[in-house]
């Protein structure tokens, strides 16, 4: 005969079991007490090696029973079957409710994503940027993606997106495939890693508005340097063209950074330090006389 203890059922299902039993006309006796199995030995009464306390569990002294008493109500036969069926049905209902809730949450999220996208696409320049998004550079594409996900944009974000699109348009007007003289300023540098080793690259912004990535052949190619070089233009990535086989670098190194003007406090301090130095010098000279 099947048997379970009502108190072994999850507490949230116990009332459902009681209701089902009542509806079936099954009267339950009042709950009794049961002693839990010992948590340390799992009810065996034995724990650990024989050399320690003869292998007898410390917690229960070998009885296998815990000191704690809990309520108990045995359900047998029909009552047991009904209880198990009730729990199974309740669990199924819970799973279904959870599925429905998850589906609703997913639908709400999808609706939110859709609404954000619709709001973003209406912002100036965003729809145009989406058209060319697969060709945008990573930075511009990231900003565009953020705006599309949020559904709004700051002026700065819109300016960045517009700049990305404009860069692509400019790059499209470049004489791709031709060997040309590239004149401009180095606006960026990076290291391209490959199986053959690292290659230092610089990005030159030209007066025509293109950006060209070139392998840096000369050591004085740093950000801010004004350069001239002959290279073959190839389509690049994110509005930056590739300048292949650069030859004949002419470099005007980056100008030294302009001195930062002193604050008033710094000027006073510098003056005091100069005075102190003059006094020290005078003392040393005097000491020499003595």
The answer to whether 203 contacts Zn ion (rule: CB under 5 A) is no
Contact assessment for residue 147 and residue 125, using Cβ atoms and an 8 Å cutoff: no
* Minimal distance, residue 97 CB to Zn ion, in Å: 40
Q: Using the minimum distance from each CB to Zn ion, give the nearer residue, 18 or 40.
A: 40
Give the x-and-dash track for 46-85 against Zn ion (CB under 5 A): -----------x-xx-------------------------
Q: Return the ∠ at Cα 185 (arms to 182 and 187), rounded to 5°.
A: 120
DSSP at 53? G
* Minimal distance, residue 40 CB to Zn ion, in Å: 5
Q: Using the minimum distance from each CB to Zn ion, give the nearer residue, 34 or 40.
A: 40
SS3 assignment, position 232? strand
DSSP at 85? H
Size of residue set near Zn ion by CB under 5 A? 6
Closest CA to 65 of 29, 39, 97: 39
* Minimal distance, residue 58 CB to Zn ion, in Å: 7
Q: Using the minimum distance from each CB to Zn ion, give the nearer residue, 20 or 41.
A: 41
Please give the residues from 2 up to 41 whose contact with Zn ion meets the rule CB under 5 A: 38, 40-41
d(CA 205, CA 219): 19
Positive or negative torsion for Cα 280, 284, 286, 290? positive
Longest dimension (CA), the chain: 123
**If you search the block for the tokens 């030159």, which residue do you land on?**
204
Burial class (CB in 10 A: 0-12, 13-18, 19+), 200: middle
* Minimal distance, residue 60 CB to Zn ion, in Å: 3
* Minimal distance, residue 47 CB to Zn ion, in Å: 6
Q: Using the minimum distance from each CB to Zn ion, give the nearer residue, 52 or 97.
A: 52
* Minimal distance, residue 46 CB to Zn ion, in Å: 8
- Catalog residues that contact Zn ion under the rule CB under 5 A: 38, 40-41, 57, 59-60
């Amino acid at each position: 005969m099947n048997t379970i203890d009502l108190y072994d059922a999850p507490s949230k299902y116990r009332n459902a079991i009681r209701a089902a039993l009542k509806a079936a006309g099954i009267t339950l006796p009042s709950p009794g007490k049961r002693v839990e199995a010992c948590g340390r030995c799992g009810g065996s009464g034995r724990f650990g090696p024989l050399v320690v306390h003869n292998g007898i569990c410390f917690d229960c002294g070998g009885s296998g029973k815990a000191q704690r008493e809990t309520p108990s109500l045995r359900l047998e036969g029909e009552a047991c079957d009904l209880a198990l069926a009730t729990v199974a049905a309740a669990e199924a209902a819970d799973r279904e409710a959870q599925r429905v809730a998850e589906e609703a949450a997913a639908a709400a999220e999808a609706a939110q994503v859709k609404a954000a996208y619709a709001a973003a696409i209406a912002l100036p320049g965003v729809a145009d940027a989406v058209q060319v998004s697969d060709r945008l550079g990573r930075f511009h594409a990231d900003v565009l993606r953020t705006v599309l996900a949020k559904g709004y944009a700051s002026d700065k974000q819109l300016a960045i997106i517009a700049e990305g699109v404009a860069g692509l348009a400019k790059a499209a007007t470049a004489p791709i495939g031709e060997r040309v003289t590239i004149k401009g300023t180095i606006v960026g540098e990076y290291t391209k890693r490959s199986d053959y080793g690292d290659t230092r690259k610089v990005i030159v912004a030209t007066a025509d508005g293109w950006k060209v990535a070139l392998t840096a052949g000369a050591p004085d190619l740093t950000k801010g340097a004004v350069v001239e070089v002959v290279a073959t233009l190839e389509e690049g990535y994110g509005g930056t063209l590739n300048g292949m086989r650069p030859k004949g670098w002419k470099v005007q190194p980056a100008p030294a950074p302009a001195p930062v003007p002193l604050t008033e406090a710094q000027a006073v301090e510098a003056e005091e330090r100069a005075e102190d130095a003059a006094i020290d010098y005078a003392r040393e000279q005097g000491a020499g006389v003595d």
